[in-house]
Amino acid sequence: MNNFIIMKTQILLFFSILFFTLTIYSQAPRGFYAVAGLSQTELKSSDLLTEPNLGFLLGINFQMGYHESYNYQMELTYRINTLDVKYVENGFEQASSSKYNASDLNFGLYFNYYILKPEEDEFFIGPQAGVFAALQDVFTPSGGSDVSGQYYLPHLLDENALSHSSEFNYGFGFGITGGYNNFRFDLRYTLGMVNLLSDVETDSYDENHNYIGPSLEGKTNTISFGVSYNIFHFKK
């Protein structure tokens, strides 16, 4: 009876070690990654007419988790973006565009689930979803542009009004993540939930200087593609 229990214990221990070993070697590489890529931020608003430009992102992310089918990703990235903001000058004869900053310092936490599971020398891929919080550049002219005498459509806002845009944003992101050994990629769409124009006011006040104009609205969405390389990994 004792021999049977010992043999059963040994078999159970063998399969436990085997399963643990297979699981260890089926994980996406864990550790710190350097990230670079492309991004494009759009301001969704009918109160400020803008067009997005292609920008860049730089940062670092941290992959953690021990499961073969999923892991977690923390990241800190700086997204460098500008918007073409439509304006007219004093003569109100012709509409033009002026570049404004739309960059942010972004902290994100994402859940990665792998349809094709990570294995050594094998490509892996799956969906990704998570949340982010960001310090947003206020809307200021890009590159020190001279914007005196410009009034931004459709409400004829001036540069001082735009400087009251929100400096904080948060929201949700989802996309596709994948990689091969120490390389990863993230193709993602993020949706900002903060009204960045909530404190921006038109030139509409009563005799007591109380604001009587409309409440402006504008939220961002960003599409980005980042490529990461494992610069420091945890040993298996």
Backbone angles phi, psi at 3, to 5 degrees: -60, -40
Cα 166 to Cα 138, 170, 199, 202, 218, distances in angstroms: 6, 11, 7, 16, 10
Q: Residue 174: CB partners within 8 Å, gap ≥ 6? A: 127, 128, 129, 130, 188, 189
> Can you list the domains of the chain with their CATH numbers?
2-233 (2.40.160.20)
Note down pLDDT in tens along the chain; length 236 residues: 555 455 545 545 544 444 444 344 456 788 999 999 999 999 999 999 999 999 999 999 999 987 889 999 999 999 999 999 999 987 777 889 999 999 999 999 999 999 998 877 789 999 999 999 999 998 888 876 677 788 999 999 988 899 899 999 999 999 999 999 899 999 999 999 999 999 999 988 988 889 888 999 999 999 999 999 999 876 65
- CA–CA dist 228, 53 (Å, integer): 23
- CA–CA dist 47, 211 (Å, integer): 17
Q: Which two tokens stand for residue 19?
A: 């399963």
CB 114 within 8 A of CB 124: yes
